[in-house]
Every structure is written in structure tokens, then in C-alpha cells.
């Protein structure tokens, strides 16, 4: 009896109950009669395939990227229990797609200039401080015309060519006049208006407006000011800064400046990383199996679905919000999926060729990117 058949019978023995025998102690002949020879043959085939396929993969140093296509050419059913372990019970061919060969570009030719980020200006530091002070501001009711810096509650309704459009109406919209959160020119029209006053004015949407149907469109808005409040900021003194862990206002200024420097340095490093990876991708030579792209595309869609569901939104509702079908969304994601696959495999090749010291696959990509950035950058 082959060891594949032995494994099959041992596995079935733990699952089958036969009157008069304890579980796991049923004799082979009784067990085969109970479950049927076809079940034993199928279980034997499963064990034989599992063992021999992975041994063959290891022997030939293959790196399959998906499950094999198995074609059984010979199987001995009901093998003679007295036969020795060399009895052939299964012959098959396994067709499998393996990782493609990748030719990296000349890594010595990767070159990106890493710029020194500009130092934060006093005005930029002040902008952050103003934002923090606004969080603890006091709002005082006013009975005067709106000025820049005031908080207002407004209602508005807009039309384009006399037709109302989605997103151009709101009964109550809070705004800090002058912050530039609305389209250019809108907030300037609020200055001088009084509480309860209504005003109609023309305005043009920017050419690069995110809603393409409104980009560069000439519109007309009717606005009513419901409330006007003065924003009274707390003084920038030790009492204020102590709430943020600073006993000295100047120390807080310096900390903000340092944070801005760090943010800009990180932004510049991210830009450099992206450019290095783009150059790496452009120089790759690889014949990529379509199935790898499909797998990555599906992974991206599955991840997005999890994020959507985490926000208590159904997938159908999300697609309706972004005005896409799943097919259209997949088409948009495809170039990114293809790049992920190509660059991911290339980074793995960099780790291997440069013998980078990494503990696991999670560290491999980061280590490869760091190595490439160090090699490719020249600092200005």
C-alpha cells in the first residue's frame, strides 16, 4: 500500500463512525466498504497531488503565482493493499504560471535631485498660531456690517444660466469671511452686508473647479446673512501656550517652525521616492502575466470596499456617490494596479541582488526604496 493511500485511509478513519468500532480504529477493509472505493481514491489523489506538486516546485526552484492547472493522465483505482510503496497510483501534468523574469534598468543611471525645503516664514508660523487660537476663540454677536475675519451664518442659492445646480444651495453655511474656503470672489461680496440682508451677485467658477460641469461657468448667487459674529482670539501669552505644553510663547513658535520644517522635509522625501520609483518602473523589462494585474486590481477593490463599509456605507451607495459603475472604477484603478505589481516585483529583485538585510517581506519594499533613494539622490 502506498503511503498516499495510508494517509487517505488514516484521514478518513478519524471522520467515519462504524457500529462496533471505536473512532479511529476501523479496519481498512471495513472502512473502504463503508465509504466506498471512489472516496478512498479521491482522498488518495488529493494527498498524492499535495505532496508531489510541492516537492516538484521545490526541486525545480519554481515560484508559482497561482494555483496549478492539474491534468491527471493515469490513476490506479483500488490499488492492491499488498503492493509495495513504489506502486504508481497517479500520473499527472501540472501547468502553472510562475513569476516572470525581470530585467532591472541600470540602477547607476537613476538620478533625482533632492531639494532643501524652504525655511518657514514668520507669516506661515503665524497662520498656524491663528488656527490654534481660533480653536479657543470667543464669538461676540454683532450688529454692524460684515468685515473680513468675521464669522457668519449664511444661506445661499445659485443658478447657472437660470438653472439651479447640485451643490449650489445651502440654508445654513458657517464661514469665516476671508479664509478663502468658497470660490474666489464669493466672500468679498459678503463684506458690508448686515444681518438679515439679502444680496444677489454674479460670479464665475474657476477654470479648474472640481465639478467639471461648473468649471469656468458664469453663475448667479442669492445670499442671505443670518448671523454675524466677531471672532475674539485669546492673547498669545503663557496662559494660552501652557494648554499646549509650552511655558514660553517663543518656544511654541519655534516648535511650530520645527514641525513645519519636518513636514516639508517629509514631503520632499516622498516626492523623491515617487520619482525614483517612476524611473525604476520606466526602465523595467518584464513580460507580466495578466493574472497578476487582475489579482492586484481585485485586492485594491476589496480594500476599498472594506474602507467604505467601515464608514457605514454600502458599496452600491459609494458607487452612486462617486457616479461610477464598478467596471468604470476598475478601469480607473487598473494603471495603478499594474504599476504596483511591476514596482513590487522590481523592489523584490533589488533586495535580492543587493543582498539587503530584511527580516520579512513587510520590510523588504521599504529597505529597497531607501537603498534606491540613497543611491539616486543628489542634494541641492
Find the mean pLDDT for residues 129-136: 93
Give the domain CATH number at 157: 3.10.50.40
Looking at residues 301-312, what average pLDDT do you find? 94
Q: Are 42 and 75 in contact (CB under 8 A)?
A: no
In a domain, 16, yes or no: yes
Q: Is residue 87 part of a domain?
A: yes
- Tens digits of residue pLDDT in 277-290: 999 999 999 888 88
Query: Position of cell 522590481?
Result: 346
Q: 8: Cβ–Cβ under 8 A, 6 or more apart, which residues?
A: 40, 43, 44, 46, 47
pLDDT at 83: 56
| pLDDT band (50, 70, 90) for residue 82 | low
Choose between 27 and 86: higher pLDDT.
27
In 128-151, which positions are buried (b, 16+ CB within 10 angstroms) versus exposed (e)? bbeebbeeebeeeebeeebeeebb
Q: Which of 58-62, 77-81, 163-167, 246-250 shows the lowest per-residue confidence on average (mean pLDDT)?
A: 77-81
Q: Is residue 238 part of a domain?
A: no
Average pLDDT over residues 145-160: 95
101 or 80, greater pLDDT: 101
Instruction: Tell me, yes or no, whether 174 lies in a domain.
Output: yes
User: Cα 79 to chain center, whole Å?
Assistant: 53
In terms of DSSP H, where are the helices of 315-360?
315-322, 326-354
Are 299 and 362 in the same domain?
yes
Strand partners, 232: 138
Same domain, 217 and 255: no
Asked if 256 and 370 sit in the same domain, the reply is yes
Give the domain CATH number at 37.
3.30.70
The answer to which of 46-50, 88-92, 114-118, 333-337 has the lowest mean pLDDT is 88-92
Q: What angle do CA 221, 224, 226 make, to 5 degrees?
A: 150
Domain count, the chain: 3
Average pLDDT, rounded, for the chain: 88
Same domain, 225 and 270: no
Judge whether 121 lies within some domain: no
pLDDT, tens digit, for every residue of 167-193?
889 999 999 999 989 999 999 999 999
**Nearest residue to 276 (alpha-carbon basis) of 212, 195, 341, 368:** 368
Cell digits for 210? 472640481
Q: Which residues contact 186 (CB under 8 A, 6 or more apart)?
A: 203, 221
Q: Which of 97, 112, 128 is the endpoint of a domain?
A: 97
- Do both 76 and 148 map to the same domain? no
- Taking residue 267's Cβ as centre, other Cβ atoms within 10 Å add up to 11
List, in order, residues 6 or more apart from 145 with CB less than 8 Å away. Answer: 191, 192, 193, 194
Please report whether residue 369 resides in a domain: yes
Please compute the mean of the pLDDT values over residues 82-86 and round it to a whole number: 54
Closest CA to 132 of 253, 248, 262, 229: 253
Assigned domain for 116 exists: no
Listed residues 199, 232, 265: the one ending a domain: 232
- % of residues, the chain, pLDDT over 90: 61
Domain shared by 254 and 367, yes or no: yes
Instruction: Give the Cα separation of 72 and 266 in Å (integer).
Output: 56
Cα–Cα distance for residue pair 145/194, rounded to 1 Å? 5
Q: Are residues 187 and 297 in the same domain?
A: no
**All residues at 6 or more sequence positions from 78 whose CB lies less than 8 Å from its CB, including other chains:** 37, 40, 41
Mean pLDDT confidence for 237-242: 94
3-state secondary structure of 23: coil
For residue 26, with 0-12 CB atoms within 10 Å meaning exposed, 13-18 middle and 19 or more buried, which class applies? buried
> What's the confidence (pLDDT) of residue 154?
97
Q: Which domain holds residue 213?
A: 138-232
Reply yes or no on whether the pLDDT at 313 is more than 60: yes
Residues 320 and 369 in one domain: yes
- Residue 103, C-beta contacts closer than 8 angstroms, at least 6 positions apart: 284, 285, 286
Banded model confidence at residue 1, pLDDT cuts 50, 70, 90: very low
Residue 378 pLDDT level (bands cut at 50, 70, 90)? confident
Residue 319: inside a domain, yes or no?
A: yes
pLDDT of amino acid 3: 75
Most confident of 22-36, 57-71, 136-150: 136-150
Residues 174, 264, single domain; the answer is: no
Give yes or no: residues 257 and 366 share one domain.
Answer: yes
DSSP codes joined into one string, 246-295: -SSHHHHHHHHHHHHHHHHHHHHHHHHHHHHHHHHHHH-EE---HHHHHH
Backbone conformation region of residue 162, classed left if phi is above 0, alpha if psi is from -120 to 50, else beta = left
Q: Name the domain boundary from 42, 74, 97.
A: 97
CA 6 to chain centre: 47
**Cα gap 350→364, rounded to integer Å:** 9
3-class SS of residue 112: strand
* DSSP structural state of residue 98: B
Residues 349, 258 share a domain: yes
Residues 195 and 256 in one domain: no
- How far apart CA 300 and CA 316 sit, in angstroms, is 17
Contact 286, 342 (CB under 8 A): yes
Amino acid at each position: 500500500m502506498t503511503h498516499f493511500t495510508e494517509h487517505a485511509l488514516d484521514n478518513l478513519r478519524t471522520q467515519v463512525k462504524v457500529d462496533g468500532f471505536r473512532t479511529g480504529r476501523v479496519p481498512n477493509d471495513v472502512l473502504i466498504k463503508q465509504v466506498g472505493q471512489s472516496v478512498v481514491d479521491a482522498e488518495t489523489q488529493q494527498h498524492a497531488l499535495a505532496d508531489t506538486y510541492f516537492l516538484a516546485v521545490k526541486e525545480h526552484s519554481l515560484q508559482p503565482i497561482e494555483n496549478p492547472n492539474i491534468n491527471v493522465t493515469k490513476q490506479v483505482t483500488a490499488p492492491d493493499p499488498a503492493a509495495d510503496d513504489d506502486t504508481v497510483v497517479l500520473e499527472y501534468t501540472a501547468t502553472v504560471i510562475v513569476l516572470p523574469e525581470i530585467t532591472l534598468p541600470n540602477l547607476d543611471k537613476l538620478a533625482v535631485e533632492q531639494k532643501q525645503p524652504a525655511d518657514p516664514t514668520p507669516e506661515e508660523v503665524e497662520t498656524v498660531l491663528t488656527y490654534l487660537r481660533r480653536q479657543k476663540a470667543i464669538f461676540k454677536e454683532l450688529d454692524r456690517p460684515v468685515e473680513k475675519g468675521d464669522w457668519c451664518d449664511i444661506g445661499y442659492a445659485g443658478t447657472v444660466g437660470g438653472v439651479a445646480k447640485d451643490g449650489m444651495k445651502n440654508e445654513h453655511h458657517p464661514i469665516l469671511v476671508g479664509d478663502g474656503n468658497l470660490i474666489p470672489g464669493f466672500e468679498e461680496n459678503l463684506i458690508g452686508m448686515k444681518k438679515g440682508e439679502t444680496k444677489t451677485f454674479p460670479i464665475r467658477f474657476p477654470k479648474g473647479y472640481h465639478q467639471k460641469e461648473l468649471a469656468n461657468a458664469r453663475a448667479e448667487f442669492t445670499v442671505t446673512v443670518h448671523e454675524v459674529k466677531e471672532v475674539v482670539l485669546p492673547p498669545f501669552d503663557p496662559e494660552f501656550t501652557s494648554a499646549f505644553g509650552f511655558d514660553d510663547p517663543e518656544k511654541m513658535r519655534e516648535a511650530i517652525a520645527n514641525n513645519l520644517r519636518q513636514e516639508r522635509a517629509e514631503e520632499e522625501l516622498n516626492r523623491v521616492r515617487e520619482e525614483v520609483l517612476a524611473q525604476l518602473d520606466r526602465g523595467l523589462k518584464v513580460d507580466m502575466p495578466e493574472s497578476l494585474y487582475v489579482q492586484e486590481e481585485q485586492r485594491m477593490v476589496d480594500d476599498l470596499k472594506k474602507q467604505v463599509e467601515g464608514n457605514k456605507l454600502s458599496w452600491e451607495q459609494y458607487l452612486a456617490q462617486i457616479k461610477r459603475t464598478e467596471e468604470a472604477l476598475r478601469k480607473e484603478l487598473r494603471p495603478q494596479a499594474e504599476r504596483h505589481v511591476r514596482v513590487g516585483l522590481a523592489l523584490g529583485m533589488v533586495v535580492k541582488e543587493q543582498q539587503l538585510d530584511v527580516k520579512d517581506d513587510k520590510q523588504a519594499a521599504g529597505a529597497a526604496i531607501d537603498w534606491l533613494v540613497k543611491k539616486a539622490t543628489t542634494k541641492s
